[in-house]
Amino acid sequence: WRTAHRQALRGEILSAEEDRFERTDGRVDWVRWSLHPWYQANGAVGGLVIFTEVITWQKEQEIALRRLSTVLHQMTDPLVLIDSDNRLVVANDAAAGWIGRTRHQIVGARAEDLVPAPPWPTVRHLLDRCRAGERMDGLQAELPDPSGSTMVPMLGTFSLVSNPEADGGDVAVVAKDLTGVKRSQAALFSLTERF
């Protein structure tokens, strides 16, 4: 601050969009600030106009959003958020991999263009039921893999997510590949039978 103060008194305009400020009790505040010199009639700097704004809440929200984004994209289970027009507004990397495209290719796309034709009417019905207020956990179905050559057992959850910007809300869909679970169950059943 002393350095900035001296520079501003020499006529410089200084600012920072976010400046970390650690308090004596250990708390951290984030501040947006600017220093502007004001001039006397003779052209000499007469003093400074200082503007500061505490932006701690906004910065904390930004950090939390980055953390959530990291968690979302590191999940191994596919997750998508579908808006009231049945467009994908969020998709993690696992969902993109399952669909066989990049995240940027599927976000904004209509769900019916991404879900194979046979299961789409069922998926649309589940989306409608969820938007009507019904939470659906533990839905099991076999879906074709991205190549369409193998049917994969999946466990799905449909949850309504409140969205004040949209009618009907968004639906979060999380799917889990049950192939490993089914193999383990079959092996356990086989061992039990042999025993």
- C-alpha–C-alpha distance, residues 164 and 170, integer Å: 10
pLDDT of amino acid 11 = 93
pLDDT of amino acid 132 = 86
pLDDT of amino acid 155 = 82
pLDDT of amino acid 190 = 73
pLDDT of amino acid 168 = 64
- C-alpha–C-alpha distance, residues 77 and 93, integer Å: 9
**What sign for the dihedral angle of Cα 86, 89, 92, 97?**
positive
Distance (Å) of CA 35 to CA 14, 38, 79: 5, 10, 46
User: In the chain, which stretches have pLDDT less than 50?
Assistant: none
pTM for the whole structure: 0.67
Q: Which two tokens stand for residue 123?
A: 């998926």
* Residue 102, phi then psi, degrees to nearest 5: -85, 160
pLDDT of amino acid 146 = 66
